[in-house]
C-alpha cells in the first residue's frame, strides 16, 4: 500500500508546492510510481506541469462536489511513473471554493482507498491555511513533511501548526507521524539563515531532514517552463537537492551521509 505524505504548513511562501512537485518528480524518476494531489485552490501543481483549465478533465473539485471516481481524475505527465490530480478550482470561482470547503473532513481518506495499492507514494500539496482542505489532507495522510523557510516568521507560525496536527492525531488519525521538517530557501551567505537552521535543529532534534533546499532561481522557473526542475536543468542546485531529498525519503539520512562520504573519498 502506498504511503500518503502531506506537504503542509500554515504559512504561505515556504515552498510547499515547489516541494510537492519536485519531490514527486524525483521519486518517480527513481522508479517509484507516484500520485501528486493538489489540494491548494491556487492551482500551482497544474501550472507546474503546464496544464490550463482546458487541459483538465476532472480533479479535486469533482471528487468533492460530484463524487466523481478518483480514477477519472488522474492525469498522466511526461514522467512515466508520475501522475497528478489537479485542484481545478480556479481563482475566479468563489462558489466552487465554498462548495469544496464544506466537504466532510474525512472525504479524501475514503476516496483514496481504491487507488492506494497502485502507487508507491501519494503526495498531497496542502493550501497555506488550516481549513477544511488541510484537515482532509492530514486525516488522509500517513505522514507529513513540513517545509520551513529560513526566517523567524516561519518559526513563529510553526507552533500553531504543530498544535493542529496534534489535534488531528488525537481525534482522527492516530497513525499520523512526521516524515520530517524541511529547511527551504536556504542561503548560507546569510547569517540569519544560519541562526534559523541552528534553532530549528535544536528545537526539532532528530526530525529535520539532512537535505536543505537552496534559494535557487531554477526552482522559481518551474511554472514558467511547466515542468519539474529536473526536466529542464537537472544539474541545477535545486534539481540536485530534490533528488537528494527523494533519496533521503526512500533510504534515510544515514545512507545519504554514507553515499556522500564515499563520493568525497573517490574524489580525494
Condensed to tens digits (0 to 9), the pLDDT of residues 143-155 reads: 999 999 877 776 7
- 176, 181, 184, 186 alpha-carbon torsion, rounded to 10°: 180
The Cα–Cα gap between 27 and 195 comes to: 31
Dig out the grid coordinates for 263 from the structure: 563520493
Instruction: Report residue 266's pLDDT band, with 50, 70 and 90 as the boundaries.
Output: very low
**Residue 262 pLDDT:** 59
Tell me the pLDDT tens digit for each residue of 32-67.
999 999 998 888 899 899 988 778 888 888 888 888
User: Which one has a higher pLDDT value, 101 or 89?
Assistant: 89
The Cα–Cα gap between 171 and 164 comes to: 11
- As a whole-number percent, the residues of the chain with pLDDT over 90 amount to 55
The Cα–Cα gap between 28 and 83 comes to: 9
Q: What is the CA 125 to chain-centroid distance, rounded?
A: 5
In the sheet that holds 177-184, the strands lie side by side as 75-76, 82-85, 34-38, 121-125, 3-7, 143-149, 177-184
The Cα–Cα gap between 135 and 108 comes to: 10
> Hey, what CATH class is 3-267 in?
alpha beta
pLDDT score of 230 more than 50:
yes
pLDDT score of 91 more than 50:
no
Mean pLDDT of 17-35: 97
Mean pLDDT of 20-30: 98
Question: 3-state SS of 25-56?
Answer: HHHHHCCCCEEEEECCCCCHHHHHCCCCHHHC
pLDDT score of 172 more than 50:
yes
**Residue 227 pLDDT:** 95
Q: Are the C-beta atoms of 77 and 49 separated by less than 8 Å?
A: yes
Tell me the pLDDT tens digit for each residue of 198-208.
888 888 888 99
Q: Where are the domains of the chain?
A: 3-267
The Cα–Cα gap between 56 and 86 comes to: 7
Amino acid at each position: 500500500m502506498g504511503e500518503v505524505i502531506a506537504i503542509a504548513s500554515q504559512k504561505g511562501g515556504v515552498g510547499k508546492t515547489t516541494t510537492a512537485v519536485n519531490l514527486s518528480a524525483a521519486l518517480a524518476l527513481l522508479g517509484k510510481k507516484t500520485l501528486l494531489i493538489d489540494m491548494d485552490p491556487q492551482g500551482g501543481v497544474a501550472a507546474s506541469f503546464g496544464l490550463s483549465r482546458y487541459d483538465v478533465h476532472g480533479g479535486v473539485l469533482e471528487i468533492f462536489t460530484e463524487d466523481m471516481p478518483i480514477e477519472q481524475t488522474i492525469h498522466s505527465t511526461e514522467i512515466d511513473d508520475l501522475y497528478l490530480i489537479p485542484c481545478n478550482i480556479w481563482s475566479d470561482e468563489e462558489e466552487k471554493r465554498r462548495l469544496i470547503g464544506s466537504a466532510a473532513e474525512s472525504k479524501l481518506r475514503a476516496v483514496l482507498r481504491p487507488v492506494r495499492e497502485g502507487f508507491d507514494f501519494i503526495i498531497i500539496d496542502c493550501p497555506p491555511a488550516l481549513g477544511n482542505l488541510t484537515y482532509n489532507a492530514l486525516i488522509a495522510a500517513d505522514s507529513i513533511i513540513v517545509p520551513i523557510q529560513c526566517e523567524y516568521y516561519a518559526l513563529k507560525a510553526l507552533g500553531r501548526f504543530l498544535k493542529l496536527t496534534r489535534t488531528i492525531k488525537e481525534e482522527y488519525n492516530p497513525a499520523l507521524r512526521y516524515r520530517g521538517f524541511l529547511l527551504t530557501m536556504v542561503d548560507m551567505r546569510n547569517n540569519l539563515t544560519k541562526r534559523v537552521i541552528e534553532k530549528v535543529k535544536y528545537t526539532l532534534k532528530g526530525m529535520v531532514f539532512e537535505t536543505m533546499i537552496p534559494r535557487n532561481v531554477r526552482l522559481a522557473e518551474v511554472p514558467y517552463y511547466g515542468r519539474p526542475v529536473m526536466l529542464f536543468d537537472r544539474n541545477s542546485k535545486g534539481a540536485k537537492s530534490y533528488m537528494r531529498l527523494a533519496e533521503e525519503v526512500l533510504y534515510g539520512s544515514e545512507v545519504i551521509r554514507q553515499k556522500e562520504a564515499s563520493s568525497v573519498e573517490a574524489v580525494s
